[in-house]
Structure 1
Amino acid sequence: MRPAQPTATTSPAPAEPQLSRELGLLPATALNMIDMVGIGPFVVLPLVMQLMGPYFMWAWVAGALLSVVDGLIWAELGAAHPEAGGSYRFLRLAYGEHTWGRLLSFLYVWQTLVQAPLVLASGSIGFAQYFGYLVPLEAWWQPKLVSGTVVLLLVALLYRRIGSVGKLGVTLWVGVLVLLVGLIGCGLLLGHEPVPLLPAATDGTVNWAGLLLPAALGQATVKTIYSYLGYYNVCHLGAEIKQPEKVIPRAIFLSILGIAVLYLLLNYSVAHVLPWQVAGKSEFIVSTFIEHLFGPTAAKLATGLVLWVAFASLFAVLLGYSRIPYAAAADGEFLPVFARLHPTKHFPYVSLLVLGGAGFVFSLLFKLSEVISAILAMRILVQFVGQAVGLVLLRRRRGTAGLPFKMPLYPLPVVLAVGIWLWILWSTGVSFMLSGLAMIAAGIVVFLLWSRSRGRWPFAR
């Protein structure tokens, strides 16, 4: 007899890597807040003063109010659907996963491939602008070298597991708070300039007509809302949040409240030290503010902290956006290569590298003034307005019984959010509105060609 042959055993196939839920409330809120702050308030503060004059703080109030009403939409959707991709996932669910939702979510990812690198570029360009206070950047290529290097360093730092990313985010967040609280304290304690909050008529009563200037307030709010954007970053990381039904809404509103208070106090403190006519003309408002109080050495230290804040914000921005093409590709609704996760570190490395690479290129090509309004004009219709309407559709179709978080006073926040976003879109100007519409039109053409080649809706065979 032949000896019995050993029985072959088949090893189980290794499990596909999955995103890990490792972020709690503290790192989630920290990543939101550092995404929101960035270079924005330090760059747009003088621009808002130029537009609104001595009543500049009302533009920051308007930005905070829009963030709150829109945050209610994000909180309800994020708590109910805590998955990677944020708006991509919400739009698909709201408008139909196999019909119009495919188009809306595709357009969102399509825009992300351009607007996410633009956001990254705007922050890195602003970083280079403030860096010029420390080291004069006289040759045309020197600011571009700085901004490009910042993007490459961000990609290198994000090339790791989400758990360590969360810890690094908290460390960066501490730097954000130190800078803002320090600036506010200096201004409140050492300033002497009067800061009028309301215009007065000749008889001493409040002149509301002098405050509510729709054109000026709209243009100024375009700038301030750019500085608030990011309160929804936690929704992009939904698949990596612990207890998302509780943490996501809390992180959204804690970050909005915290940043709104800090922004209002920061603006008041700056104007309490420097007359708004002077502050509105400063290219390095924080540096000018500290130099006026403590001299050039202290101003350089403060500038270094501004650079820390700007870098921390870009860190959170690239982290959140890199999850969007990944989520679409994992669903089979985008190029499959974007669905790849790192085999050991479990993060979407292809998406990170592509967006980071595009951000590097854009940082070399554009100026800061060219991207702020364009970023908003490109996003408003598909993402913000489309998502608000989508929440109404989801409520009608699925009801509200299973919602972990329900917005109060529904549907008032939805109506307010849509109305204010459309007002902001109009305030960006005709040229930016048309550029946003052109981007949508190009995305529709690409979607139709791609769907036809695959025989999918609206060309299903």
Structure 2
Amino acid sequence: MTEEVTLKKEIGFSAALSTVVGTVIGAGVFFKASAVYATTGNAGLGLLAWLLGGIITICAGLTGAELAAAIPKTGGMIAYIEHTYGTLASHLLGWAQTIIYYPANIAALAIIFGTQFTNLFGLSPKAILIVGAIAAISLTFLNCLGSKMGGLVQTISTICKLIPLALIIIFGLMQKNPEHLSLFPMTPKDPSTNALTALGSGLLATMFAYDGWINVGNIAGEMKNPKRDLPKAISIGLICIMVVYVLINIAFLMTLSIGSIAGNSNAASDVAMKLFGPLGGKLVTIGILISVYGTINGYTMTGMRIPYVMAKENRLPFSNLWSKLSKKSQVPVNSALLILGIAIIYMLSGQFDMLTDMLVFVIWIFYTMTFLAVFILRKREPSLERPYKVPLYPIVPAIALLGGLFIVINTLFAQTGLAILGIVVTLVGLVFYKKDKAKVPVTES
């Protein structure tokens, strides 16, 4: 992961701010309310989880941006981890992204797409897997045609996902006969559940909706004035996202009872139907479907390049196969098919929340290592050029680090089986680790 990127410094504050919002807002905001209130069983604890998730994400984004500006290499977080901890750690991250993070994201989102589609058109629940698979396959096909096609889908879906958000917030908060919203006392519905454990599980669920912040720092090398504009774009952008997430959850809770939201994978659709009636609700739900489709596209477009990068350095079995590029489109088609194949295997589980919790747990292990890397490099390499430094050091990175540790440790205790599964799958990557890697030449197929 030593290839340097040549970047033009053309991005100003406005473009950086829109990048932050467009990168982070995805499908999770519409569908994670179900898991948050199922685990907390309480409106106050649930909203607190969304608020804390936003604060941790703001600190995480500001912290990660320092490494992005100081180590502007291909591979993103893989490059930061390798620079700080060596090739073994970066190999495990690349393996986890290939085997868990990207396929599980695609699978979970495809399940949600299938669920909403079948609910909207009154199809049998048996069609969920088929519809989800068709969505994932179609997007893999579009991205194999070239990066321009994938970018077009992303642009259209970004616009579409903001419309249902705005409509639900405005009409949900202004409705005449809202549900009674009680924030206190903040105690779990199940008296045998510890409030901190319930909050931790709710926080883990919100992190899927906030995920994507690690990519925000990647624009640092393309900004005109990263030292001034990057922290502003990240802090303002993520604060806006946090406010939007809290407001749409309040709108949800004012429209449906907490019992109707908890564990209901169609909660967003039900809210839209109640607020706008059958026709309006269907139109809003179609907007949500386009948003989910675009989010799947984003993970497909970026995920298909991870096995390719790994294979170029002989870090995967059958690296010669995954490192091939298509002659026509110059994209890693075989790598895309690998991610798709693993995603379809995950989809057979039908478990949206299980998949998202596992991928969030695994990736947050590496996020936490990234936060710690800021402290390590400040001490080990004080002369490293840092075009941007995290503000209020060491407070901001410490909040990010403590938040990451809380998520990881709480998951280990609250969802031990899921955590062990994620760790085991990640450690399987050790089997394919080669300290002295021989680069695999890129070929066309």
**TM-score grouping bracket, smaller chain normalisation:** 0.7 to 0.9
- Compared CA separation, residues 341 and 258, structure 1 to 2 (3 A): farther
Aligned to 1:374: 358
**Are positions 1:70 and 2:45 aligned together?**
no
Q: Does 1:320 align with 2:302?
A: yes
The 1:436–1:358 alpha-carbon spacing in structure 2 relative to 1, beyond 3 Å, is closer
Q: Secondary structure at the match of 1:128?
A: helix
Partner in structure 2 of residue 396 of structure 1: 379
Residue 350 of structure 1: CA displacement?
4.0
Q: What runs of 5+ residues in structure 2 fail to find an aligned partner? A: 188-193, 439-445
Once the two structures are superposed, the pairs formed by residues 250-399 of structure 1 within 5 Å of their partners are: 252-253=234-235, 255-280=237-262, 282-330=264-312, 333=315, 335=319, 337-341=321-325, 345=329, 347-381=331-365, 383-399=366-382
Distance change in 2, residues 1:319/1:109 (3 Å): same
> Following the alignment from structure 1 to structure 2, what is the Cα–Cα distance between the partners of residues 137 and 22?
50
Equivalent-residue separation in structure 2 for 1:332 and 1:19 (angstroms):
24
Q: Deviations over 1:349-393 (max 9, x none)?
A: 443333233323432344213212211222222x11221222222
After alignment, is 254-263 or 50-59 more displaced?
A: 254-263
Partner in structure 2 of residue 6 of structure 1? none
TM-score with structure 1 length normalisation? 0.80
Q: 1:229 to 1:77 in 2, by over 3 A?
A: same
Q: Among residues 105, 113, 116, which one is paired with 1:130 in the alignment?
A: 116
> 1-side partners of 2:304 and 2:218: how far apart?
9
Structure 2 Cα separation of the partners of residues 175 and 20 of structure 1: 30
1:57-456 equivalence runs, <5 A: 57-95=47-85, 101-115=86-100, 116-138=102-124, 140=126, 142-159=127-144, 162=147, 165-191=150-176, 192-199=178-185, 213-234=195-216, 245=226, 252-253=234-235, 255-280=237-262, 282-330=264-312, 333=315, 335=319, 337-341=321-325, 345=329, 347-381=331-365, 383-399=366-382, 402-428=385-411, 429-447=415-433, 450-451=434-435
For residue 314 of structure 1, report the CA deviation from its aligned partner.
Answer: 1.4
**Secondary structure of the equivalent of 1:150?**
helix
Q: Distance in 2 between matches of 1:23 and 1:156?
A: 32
Query: Could you tell me how far 1:102 is from its partner in structure 2?
Result: 0.6
CA distance in 2: counterparts of 1:398 and 1:178, whole angstroms: 46
Q: How many residues align?
A: 420
> How many Å apart are 1:165 and its aligned residue?
4.4
Q: Which has the larger radius of gyration?
A: 1
Contact kept? 1:88, 1:324, Cα under 8 Å: no
The 3 A distance-change label for structure 1 pair 356 and 234 is farther
Distance 1:94 1:243, change over 3 A: farther
- Give unmatched runs, 5+ long, in structure 1: 1-17, 96-100, 202-211, 455-461
Shift of 1:444: 2.3
Q: CA deviation at 1:303?
A: 1.5
Distance (whole Å) between structure 2 residues aligned to residue 170 and residue 22 of structure 1: 22
C-alpha distance 421-52 of structure 1, shift in aligned 2 (>3 A): farther
Distance 1:90 1:213, change over 3 A: same
Partner of 2:26: 38
Q: Percent same amino acid among aligned pairs?
A: 23
Instruction: Tell me the distance in 2 between the aligned counterparts of 1:93 and 1:62.
Output: 30
Q: Structure 1's 283 and 161: CA in aligned 2 closer, same or farther, altered over 3 A?
A: closer
Structure 1 stretch displaced more, 265-274 or 397-406:
397-406
Cα pair 2:321 2:334 within 8 Å, conserved: yes
Instruction: Name the Cα RMSD after superposition.
Output: 3.4
Q: What is the rounded CA distance, in whole Å, between the counterparts of 1:30 and 1:346 in structure 2?
A: 28
Query: CA separation of 1:285/1:453 partners in 2, compared to 1, >3 Å: closer, same or farther?
Result: closer
